[in-house]
Structure 1
Amino acid sequence: MILPTILTTIALMEPIKDSESPDQSRNTGLPAPAPVVRALGKLGEDLNRARRRRNFTQQEVAKRIGASLNTVKRLENGDLKVPLHFLARMLFLFGELDRLVTLLDSGQDEIGLTLMDDRLPKRVRHSKKRENAF
């Protein structure tokens, strides 16, 4: 059963201390969980590597995606506050947009499907219709 795995995953998402990351959510003021910071850091490194493999400068990428040089640098540094559409544009530039499209495909969401299956009734009964009820 996947439910204990979900609870374990949620328990591991402890917020990081303010001294570890200056990036905080704009709406809640809560620090980002450490796994989120690590994942965005890795994504930034991967974007940087993909850009260099294609022999693009940061300035060229910025121009092609309609962003500033600073935005590209922030993306590659894993900044939490970079708008998502710039990431999508960068993935499109690198020919990887399809990976974003299938990122959380509901048909492949094992946790969501398992949670839905756990809520299914054990059996289905149809109520008896009364004649002359009205």
Structure 2
Amino acid sequence: MCHGHSSRQSEGGAIAILRGQGRQSGALFNAKITLKNFEEDITTQATFLFEKTNRLPTLGACTLVIHQDGNLNYEDTTRAPLHHIPFDLYEDQMYEISLPARLDLGVGGEGIIGRKMSLMNSRQVIAEGIIGWN
């Protein structure tokens, strides 16, 4: 992303690098979440890849929240999120799920690019980041 030039090959879809600290377990970890729409009218596929070097907290029932804005420093609790996706996540380093709906992997309107994504467990934010092009 350096002025339009990068040695990294595009994989398509969207990506979010979530960074956080498990408040309950104290475990620091990073997660890379990729989102792809493979075919028309099929729900979005999400792949979670957790960094190997960190101890993963027990996550279990989680919620992936895509917020209306892209500001990591401020949370507007009066606005409903753009997407609120509950799912179960286990202690695997890689995990793939089909989301319940097809997400717009574009910018503006219902698009998710540039918006904040939060990974939550028991109503607590575990990690968050910004969604970008992959």
Higher relative contact order (CA 8 A, sep 6+): 2
> What TM-score bracket applies, with the shorter chain setting the length?
under 0.3
Q: TM-score, normalised by structure 1?
A: 0.27
Q: TM-score, normalised by structure 2?
A: 0.27
Q: Is the strand fraction higher in 1 or 2?
A: 2
Q: Which has the larger radius of gyration?
A: 1
Q: Is the helix fraction higher in 1 or 2?
A: 1
